[in-house]
A and B are shown apart, each in its own frame.
Chain A
Amino acid sequence: DAGVIQSPRHEVTEMGQEVTLRCKPISGHDYLFWYRQTMMRGLELLIYFNNNVPIDDSGMPEDRFSAKMPNASFSTLKIQPSEPRDSAVYFCASSLEGSEQFFGPGTRLTVL
């Protein structure tokens, strides 16, 4: 298996622009998680899905952030409009039945 796949790996954008991050979980996994990592706050859980249904989005910082999972093999995290404080590394992870989580390589987002 190729593992969790994320794209793009790097994204540089200007304040106010829309940003879309993509994730393909490991085939057969039924949980998908979105995390954000910054030097100041470490790793934070933003939202997670079970069988494509959002379970808990309490970690989403603001209404500017939204996430979807239209099918079992694809999820997006969208920021609109983006702000400089959104600059971070965004990770997607997946697991089977809520057990061991496997992380993707991350998307490094820079908002100028």
Chain B
Amino acid sequence: KQEVTQIPAALSVPEGENLVLNCSFTDSAIYNLQWFRQDPGKGLTSLLLIQSSQREQTSGRLNASLDKSSGRSTLYIAASQPGDSATYLCAVTTDSWGKLQFGAGTQVVVTP
């Protein structure tokens, strides 16, 4: 059974510092991995989707890497800003239907 883990559960950094968020999964047979952002009381916003054949994906200040063999993905956010404060969730799909298995998330606070 696929298990997705995100460590740490919470993280606080000063503005301007780079953020590094980790996601690990137990079954390397994934179709893709998706990173989301969730603001308090809001829905999930898709940040990046990495296909299983890709090693990384970039969008603006965000870069996500994928190492299937070791069951890990890392989300880098460069030059963090207070507006980056949110909970970040990773999720993997293990079938072509796109069924997502979520981690518990990392709550990030960027202090001015």
- B69 located at the interface, meaning its Cβ lies under 8 Å from any Cβ of chain A in the complex: no
* Chain A nearest Cβ from B105, distance in angstroms: 7
* Chain A nearest Cβ from B92, distance in angstroms: 12
* Chain B nearest Cβ from A43, distance in angstroms: 4
Q: Is the interface of A mostly helix, strand, loop or mixed?
A: strand
9 shortest A-B CB distances, which residue pairs?
Answer: A98-B98, A103-B44, A43-B102, A100-B49, A105-B43, A103-B43, A106-B43, A42-B104, A98-B97
* B residues contacting the other copy or chain, number (CB 8 A): 24
Chain A residues touching B, range:
20 to 34
Q: Is the CB of A99 within 8 A of B105?
A: no
When distances are taken between beta carbons in the complex, the residues of chain B under 8 Å from A43 are 89, 91, 100, 102
When distances are taken between beta carbons in the complex, the residues of chain B under 8 Å from A100 are 34, 46, 49
Query: Which residue of B32, B41, B44, B103 contacts A99 across the interface (Cβ within 8 Å)?
Result: B32
